[in-house]
Chains A and B, each alone.
Chain A
């Protein structure tokens, strides 16, 4: 079955300061050097994300949390993608939308404002 594009997800990703997977040229170096050896991480996952395929992303949440954040991929990335930060962004999204652990970005700003009042 074809995956549906989730416009809200696509919009959130497009406007997020922390997410720059748009720069990915899909060269595959990141996948080749990844100690996990999982085909999905990170470029296919980023493709799903920038296309707004929210279900495809959430279905693979275990893989997102398997990332070591070791930055070996980032060290070798020719396009300057902040891969570890992008993975952290996706974790934050899952924490909030699936696990119910974090406040929404708006809530975060509110909390920050309260803390600094």
Chain B
């Protein structure tokens, strides 16, 4: 029995309407990456995460659960889950990623912030007001729910006096730069991906990294946002030799991620096909620039092709001395503007994690 499309789309729409995200994450979890980073609160230019990196480990855990349900009799009972989810945040309870997985994605955001700081780019962060931009609702065609959500985001950006946002992932970039202006009146916020900002800053790497790496372009960056040369420019200047699969740049091949919540097996098959294309270059490691691509391809590769987000590759070259700040193992208290601090105990834990990672 396939998963019931209507119930799963319905569950996501219920979440967006009621809880402000297709997959609600507490403010504490979505802002914990910034704890201790001392990023100024707000300002005219802000780093806007749209909670995409923070959501990924939870979405991956949810997809693993759905994979077990797909094609079993349990798929018939998903409607009950949707019903219960109207009263309690069932999707938040059901998905339980490991702490390591959560920390991994949080560290990518710290790397991005570190790169911008190293490049001398001034920016703030909206903390609890940095919310999901609604990409999945847009993809699913639920335009009235998306419109209501986009209006809330626009109102927040206006209230906080934001003139420019620096985005970190292709989907949020696409929503804020290309979709919001078509559905909202007077959406005049300037939107740039951090890769574009770093490429413009034209900084010199502090350390050259002589390694081969296979590049996987995000469909959205490549075909909707024209972010093609900037990641290549940054990686090549750092010393990396880029290996391009035949399906590259604006002819890049999907990772399968966009349908993972509805058709997990089909999504996995497409990811496997993409991994084979990447391996076909002879490369021994790959670079992605979208958290959805990273999660899908890592799952498909199953360890056969190591891969990392571009932020990790760039940090090793452009900001090797940047010390990520500690991520608390347990989230206690929301990381709001005035409480963005970390304990010495947390700091030691994260320093150990980073030492073992590098």
Are B141 and A91 closer than 8 Å at their CB atoms?
A: yes
Which DSSP category, helix, strand, loop or mixed, fits chain A's interface? Answer: helix
Are A107 and B262 closer than 8 Å at their CB atoms?
A: no
User: Chain A contacts of B259 at CB under 8 A?
Assistant: 65-68
Are A75 and B251 closer than 8 Å at their CB atoms?
A: yes
Q: Does residue B176 face the partner (Cβ distance < 8 Å to A)?
A: no
Are A91 and B262 closer than 8 Å at their CB atoms?
A: no
Are B256 and A68 closer than 8 Å at their CB atoms?
A: yes
User: Chain B contacts of A74 at CB under 8 A?
Assistant: 223
List the interface of chain B (C-beta within 8 A of A): 2, 5-6, 9-10, 13, 138-145, 147-148, 151, 185, 219, 223-224, 250-254, 256, 258-259, 262-263, 266, 270, 273
- Chain A residue with Cβ nearest B140: A91
Are B142 and A68 closer than 8 Å at their CB atoms?
A: no
In the bound assembly, the distance between CA atoms of A62 and B265 in angstroms comes to 14
Asked whether A103 and B144 contact (CB < 8 A) given A68-B259, A69-B258, A70-B219, the answer is: yes
Which DSSP category, helix, strand, loop or mixed, fits chain B's interface? Answer: helix
Please tell me the number of chain A residues within 8 Å of chain B, measured between CB atoms. Answer: 33
What is the count of residue pairs linking A and B with beta-carbon distances less than 8 angstroms? 93
Are B141 and A95 closer than 8 Å at their CB atoms?
A: yes
Looking at the assembled complex, report how far the CB atom of A7 sits from the nearest CB atom of chain B, in whole angstroms. Answer: 23
List the interface of chain A (C-beta within 8 A of B): 35-36, 61-62, 65-72, 74-75, 88-95, 98-99, 101-103, 107-108, 111-112, 115-116
Are B266 and A36 closer than 8 Å at their CB atoms?
A: yes
In the bound assembly, the distance between CA atoms of A98 and B7 in angstroms comes to 11
- Chain B residue with Cβ nearest A76: B251
User: Chain A contacts of B263 at CB under 8 A?
Assistant: 65-66
User: Chain A contacts of B147 at CB under 8 A?
Assistant: 108, 111-112, 115
Are B141 and A71 closer than 8 Å at their CB atoms?
A: no
In the bound assembly, the distance between CA atoms of A72 and B253 in angstroms comes to 7
- Chain B residue with Cβ nearest A89: B141
Looking at the assembled complex, report how far the CB atom of B77 sits from the nearest CB atom of chain A, in whole angstroms. Answer: 17
Looking at the assembled complex, report how far the CB atom of B278 sits from the nearest CB atom of chain A, in whole angstroms. Answer: 14
Looking at the assembled complex, report how far the CB atom of B2 sits from the nearest CB atom of chain A, in whole angstroms. Answer: 7
In the bound assembly, the distance between CA atoms of A112 and B150 in angstroms comes to 11
Output the residue of A66, A68, A103 with the most chain B CB within 10 A: A68
